[in-house]
Structure 1
Amino acid sequence: MQNTTLPWLAWSGASAAWHELPRVLVAGAVAAAAAAPMAAALLTGAPGWIAAAAALPAALALTGLAPLAAAAARGEPARLALLLRADPVLALALSTAGLALVAPWGAVPAAAVLLVGPYALAYGAVRGRRGLAAVRGGAILAAYRPAWTLTLAALAVLGGFAVAASAGVLAVAVAPLLLTIAARQTAALLSEIDTIQSTR
């Protein structure tokens, strides 16, 4: 029986990304470039609404990166053409995290995106769902196994600190790595849910 413990899934996701490292890094560089306007706005002290608006290109890049990461997680070639499968509706939903920069209550959607976002991206890529269907699937998965959700969110936060500490150098690796791990977790959760439903 295949191991589906959280540490094994994280390790196997990292290993899958490693096997496709050159293309993963190129895809990560594309995502990092899309996030550069938001980073520049934050570093230069630009008005919050500018940084919030710049969250949309970054989110759009992540929706293109997710299918590539899912392919790597399945052991398939991480073809760069998969970056073109961006999902504008899902990106718009994820970019609501930018409200944390302009509204006192913005921490609420930002926290929701941090918890649901990785699973929404991975679910959309693994199951071929787009837009709000991916958000719905991500929310279900996040609620189904809260410990995994919190662990993935913690990895995202740690990845953010790693990017900041490296002055952005690690940005090309963190997002693809996190999304590959999320894709592995998502596939395991979906398999478990499908098995439960088939036995009822």
Structure 2
Amino acid sequence: MPARSSVVAVTLPWLVRRGALGFWHELPRCVVAGALGLATAAPLLVAMIAALPDWILAATTVPPALALTGLVRFAAAVARGDGPRLATLREVDPALALLLAGGVSLAGLALNSGGGAALAGAAGAAGLLLVFPYALAYGALRGRRGLRAVRGGAILVAFRPSWALTLVAMGCLGGFAAAASAGVLAAVVLPLLLAITASQTLGLLDEIDALQGRA
């Protein structure tokens, strides 16, 4: 058991570094891709600032969710070193995007309701933060869509929960950096985090495939 922990401690930083280096090598295209993805969140931002009705707010979560499924395919190509193309951003997964948008909307509605619903909303939000990054990356890397991608993401979280928690922590740090820069760094942080997520997912899938091959 200690030997396995040692392998994880060495492997995780290496995978993070691989994702970050892949991002750095494709920096101009990554920034453009990140900016295009963030632009789709403009209606959501307007709806939040204007305090529009919940159903409008929920509807405006769909465009950025769709863009995210395309952006993660771009990031997967970055992590693999395949020479990502901006045209990849059009390869979206509507089913997975609707699941993500619906989950975010329901969690937000529950959190705003207070009481027991808020507790359920917090649990749902935590589940989204843990599962959906891997679901997005798994779907992009293995060509899985909708619920199959979510199932794969959940399996990856269960296989190595500490990595999922680390990814959430990095996401929080990235969010703080974007907020501290008044949003300027958001176009950098988003594709960087997705490239790291894709790199981690590749590592997990390789390990799972190796274990299944020995079974």
Q: Which residue is equivalent to 2:11?
A: 5
Q: Which residue is equivalent to 2:202?
A: 187
Tell me if structure 2 keeps the 8 A contact 1:119–1:142.
yes
**Aligned pair partner of 1:116 in 131, 138, 145:** 131
Q: Which residue is equivalent to 1:33?
A: 39
Please state whether the residue corresponding to 2:40 is helix, strand or coil.
helix
Please state whether the residue corresponding to 2:58 is helix, strand or coil.
helix
Tell me if structure 2 keeps the 8 A contact 1:97–1:111.
no
Structure 2 unaligned regions, length at least 5: 1-8, 111-117
Tell me if structure 2 keeps the 8 A contact 1:63–1:91.
yes
Please state whether the residue corresponding to 2:41 is helix, strand or coil.
helix
Q: Partner amino acid for 1:69? A: A
CA distance in 2: counterparts of 1:51 and 1:161, whole angstroms: 23
Matches within 5 A, 1:21-100: 21-95=27-101, 96-100=103-107
Q: Which residue is equivalent to 1:170?
A: 185
Superposed CA deviations along residues 152-194 of structure 1, whole A, max 9, x for unmatched, are 1111122222222222111211111111001111111111011
Q: Partner amino acid for 1:30? A: L
CA distance in 1: counterparts of 2:18 and 2:163, whole angstroms: 15
Q: Partner amino acid for 1:24? A: C
Identity, % of aligned pairs?
60
Shift, 1:48, TM fit: 4.1
Q: How many residues align?
A: 199
Q: Partner amino acid for 1:128? A: G
Computing the radius of gyration over CA atoms, which structure comes out larger, 1 or 2?
2
**Aligned pair partner of 1:127 in 118, 121, 142:** 142
Tell me if structure 2 keeps the 8 A contact 1:100–1:107.
yes
Superposed CA deviations along residues 126-170 of structure 1, whole A, max 9, x for unmatched, are 111111111110110011101000001111122222222222111
Q: Which residue is equivalent to 2:172?
A: 157
CA distance in 1: counterparts of 2:180 and 2:60, whole angstroms: 22
Change (3 A) 1:162 1:49: farther
Q: Partner amino acid for 1:127? A: R
Shift, 1:88, TM fit: 0.7
Shift, 1:24, TM fit: 0.8
Q: Partner amino acid for 1:34? A: T
Please state whether the residue corresponding to 2:197 is helix, strand or coil.
helix
- Greater shift, 123-132 or 35-44, is seen at 35-44
Shift, 1:4, TM fit: 6.1
Alignment of 1:16 with 2:22, yes or no, is yes
Kindly report the root-mean-square deviation, in angstroms, between the aligned alpha carbons of the 2 structures. 1.8
CA distance in 2: counterparts of 1:34 and 1:12, whole angstroms: 28
Compute the TM-score of the two structures, normalised by the length of structure 2. Answer: 0.86
Please state whether the residue corresponding to 2:22 is helix, strand or coil.
helix
Shift, 1:199, TM fit: 0.6
Shift, 1:109, TM fit: 2.4
Compute the TM-score of the two structures, normalised by the length of structure 1. Answer: 0.92
Tell me if structure 2 keeps the 8 A contact 1:24–1:176.
yes
- Greater shift, 168-177 or 50-59, is seen at 50-59
